[in-house]
Amino acid sequence: MSSPLLTGRRLFKAHGSTPALRGASVELHAGEILAVTGTSGSGKSTLLHCLAGITRPDSGTVEYAGERLDELPEERLSTLRRTEFGVVFQFGQLIPELTAVDNVALPLLLAGTPRQAAREQAAEWLERFGVRGQETRRPGEMSGGQAQRVSLARALVTGPKVVFADEPTGALDSLAGEQVMTALTHTARESGAAVLLITHDAQIAAYADREVTLRDGVLAAEVTETAETAEVAR
């Protein structure tokens, strides 16, 4: 397999005195859909935040396409997040005052696309995600599933290399969840984007190419490896 696009190595991160990551390492390859599962509090969101350059780890490294994200100045990091990454959260986090089309056009406007072209592209992406007809609605006027598909359109409109999705179906019923996952995986495959998908739901994880499980801030496989190494050393 080719070298990974995004690598987190021996990541440690505490929130105050609460340790969230305790040496987690993970690799994401270009175009791969990777599910990160684990029980509540196992560190999934913290791992996503570190890998997406939203939070800096206390120690350990994050490398994206040859660049050390954990060492980048904030300005370069925010440009990289805007141009290379797309993010979807559990509750969409659309801007409530903006219509669907303006929410999706926003990342394009920030990247310098002229307003009319941005709105046209945004409308195309809404169509791809099956929410045509919702263009002029605000998030509060849509169902949870529709709003989440608008969030996906917003995350993918700039053609990111990596989409970070933190429990993207967590607030949806199972049918809407399946529709969102189908739309996400289909579009990611079409555009070649890698997806880091956080979920605690095995049915949602089944959409991924590969699954890793976090347990108390490390990958379950690392726990096994450490135990095996200790066994061999004894």
Ligand X SMILES: Nc1ncnc2c1ncn2[C@@H]1O[C@H](COP(=O)(O)OP(=O)(O)OP(=O)(O)O)[C@@H](O)[C@H]1O
| Contact footprint for ligand X (CB under 6 A) | 15-16, 18, 20, 38, 40-46, 200
Q: Are 212 and 37 in contact (CB under 8 A)?
A: yes
Beta-ladder partners of 26: 8
Q: At what angle do helices 115-128 and 144-156 cross, to 10 degrees?
A: 130
Query: Minimum distance between the CB of residue 204 and ligand X, rounded to whole angstroms?
Result: 13
Report how far Cα 52 is from the mean position of its chain's Cα atoms: 8
Q: Is 163 helix (H, G, I), strand (E, B) or coil?
A: strand
Cα(172)–Cα(15) distance, integer angstroms = 28
Q: What's the min distance (Å) between Cβ of 26 and ligand X?
A: 13
Nearer to ligand X, 15 or 186 (CB): 15
On the CB side of 206, how many CA atoms lie within 13 Å of its CA?
5
Sign of the Cα torsion 77, 78, 83, 87 reads positive
Minimum distance from residue 113 beta carbon to ligand X (Å) = 33
Question: Looking at beta carbons only, is 106 or 223 nearer to ligand X?
Answer: 223
Cβ proximity to ligand X, 194 vs 198, nearer residue:
198
Least Å distance, CB 99 to ligand X, is 30
By C-beta, is 45 or 158 nearer to ligand X? 45
Distance CA 14, CA 127 (A): 41
Which of 75, 92, 18, 86 minimizes the C-alpha distance to 52?
Answer: 86
State both tokens at 216.
């108390």
Query: Closer to ligand X at the Cβ: 20 or 188?
Result: 20
Nearer to ligand X, 21 or 156 (CB): 21
Min CB(203)–ligand X separation in Å = 16
In the bound complex, what is the minimum distance in angstroms from residue 200's beta carbon to ligand X? 6
